[in-house]
Each structure stands twice: as C-alpha cells, then as structure tokens.
Structure 1
Amino acid sequence: MTSEDPSATEFPASNSLANRYGGQKRGLSRKAKRNIVIGALVVGIGFAAYVATGSATAPVTFKDIGYSTVDGTQAEVDYQVSKSPSATAKCAIKAMDSKFAVVGWKVVEIGPNNPEQDADGGRTTAQRTVLATESPAVSGVVDNCWIVDSGK
C-alpha cells in the first residue's frame, strides 16, 4: 500500500507560492496613472521651455556665411555675429586644410554697434576676417564667440 505525500496535498500551488513570495501586487489606480502622466507632461513642457529660452537669450551667437582662399598664404572668412548692440565680443576664427588641421587662427574683437545701423536694432553685424595661413586652406569657420567683460 502506498501513501500520498502529505506535503503535496497540504496547500494548493497558488497558496504555497503566495506564502513564499507574497501575494499578487495591486496595480496602480486610475488616479495614480493620471497623476503620473500629468507630472511627466509638466516636466516635459518645463524642459522644452528651458531649452527654448536658454538658446534665445544667449549673449552672443554666430553664423558662418562663407570663406575664400586668396592664395596659399591667406584666407577670408565671412560670418555674422548677433549680440547686444552695446556689448563687445571676441570671436576665434580658424582656417583648415583638407585634413582638418588648423592652418590659420585669429581672435578678432567686435565692438559695440550703432542701434540704427541694422534692421534688427544693431544686434547682427556682418564681418570679414583675413587670416594668414601656413599652407593652402580649404575651409574657414568661426570656432567660438564670447562677450568680453567690460570691467576688465
């Protein structure tokens, strides 16, 4: 005569697992899900506003317009600089060869603008910088621009 294993018939499998690992977890309520979605939207809109206003209020921006190679020892870089009309900015201009090595470099100062000078109240000015180069350049760009502290 064989007898059944008492441990197998003591509890059903679902009760046995619940005792060992805990019961089923309750899902989030509808209100909690809605609050999470609303919170995520508020954070997303706040981040988008921060990015949009941060780039719009940059103290100085620049845009490359073009370049030309005068000869093997000179290049010209054309660009626009936008800043407050009363501010003074400095821009680093570079010329590069076909292997992207810098063959010419110059830091130029862009002084205050006359507000009546341009259609946008003197914020944007067109610039041309002539660079001396070590070897023939195949491109010329603005590397960076920054506002000069007037207290120094």
Structure 2
Amino acid sequence: MTSPDQPAQSAPADTSLANRYGAKKRRLSPKAARTAIGAALVVGIGFLAWVTTSNSLSGVTYKDVGYSTTDATLAEVDFQVTREPANPVKCAVKALDSKFAVVGWKVVDIPPSAADRTADGGRTVAQRVTLRTESASVSGVVDSCWIPAGAS
C-alpha cells in the first residue's frame, strides 16, 4: 500500500524573499532622522555664511566705469577699485579689438592712501589708465586686481 503524496510545505513568502534578496531595510528612527536633518541644516547655513563673507573679506574689488579710444594706438580705461586704504593694489588692464583679442595690456600700481572724509573712508579710488595698443581697440576692461605679496 502506498500512501498518497503529500504536498510539500512551502515556506512563507516573506521568509523565502528574505533568503533570496536579504532582510528588509531598517528605517531611521524619527529621532535619528531629525538629528540628521538638523546637522545638514547647520552645515548648509555655515557654508552659505562662509561663501557670503569670504568674498567680502578678500580685500579688493573693481568695477569698470568707462572706456574711450583716443586713436588707433591709444586707449583710456576708467575704473574704480575698492580696498582698505592702507593696502597698495595692482590691477591688470587690457584693451580688446573687435574679435576680443588683447591689443593692449598694462599693470597699474595703485598706492595706499590715507583714510579721508569720503562716504566710504577712502576705500574706493577712481583710476584712468592710458594704454598703448597694437591696433584699434573697441573696448577696455580691468582683467584683475590683487594685493601684492607682502603688502598686507
């Protein structure tokens, strides 16, 4: 006599899936999630504060004000430089032709000045630079300004 075949006991679906794909992922507790979000906010606000203040603490900013062409060999560039009055500054000024090629270049020394009774305490100075050019220029700009090494 034979007994009828008994169906095999199958494992529950959750257990077989866990064996195949691994256990379910655990979620962060609400307290840990709040702590992580709070830490991310503090780091983000600190980074924004650093970015905002680091640019203003660099010491030198410049602004192009005007440009004129005297003739095919001369150009004048007007600009303003803002820095601490006690710091000397160097600025690279360039003249460009219609294809944006540099046709004139000059590094200008701006000496320190005494803090006077202007609205900003002598921080901003206006400069006019005359550049010799190789050919006719159509624009003139300040390329960069910096405080020379050992000056601050």
TM-score w.r.t. length of structure 2: 0.89
Question: What's the counterpart of residue 100 of structure 2?
Answer: 100
**Mapping for residues 55-66 of structure 1, pairs under 5 Å:** 55-66=55-66
Deviates further, 12-21 or 88-97: 12-21
In structure 1, distance between residues paired with 2:57 and 2:111:
19
Question: What's the counterpart of residue 138 of structure 2?
Answer: 138
Query: Percent same amino acid at aligned positions?
Result: 57
Correspondence 1:79 to 2:83: no
Q: Where does the alignment leave 5 or more consecutive residues of structure 2 unmatched?
A: none
In structure 2, distance between residues paired with 1:149 and 1:26:
56
In structure 2, distance between residues paired with 1:117 and 1:140:
31
TM superposition shift of 1:118? 2.8
Aligned-partner residue type, residue 43 of structure 2: V
In structure 1, distance between residues paired with 2:96 and 2:7:
84
Q: Where does the alignment leave 5 or more consecutive residues of structure 1 unmatched?
A: none
Contact 1:118 1:124 in 2 (8 A): no
Question: What's the counterpart of residue 39 of structure 2?
Answer: 39
> RMSD in angstroms over aligned alpha carbons?
1.8
TM-score w.r.t. length of structure 1: 0.89
Deviations 1:113-140 (A, max 9, x none): 1211632111110001011111111111
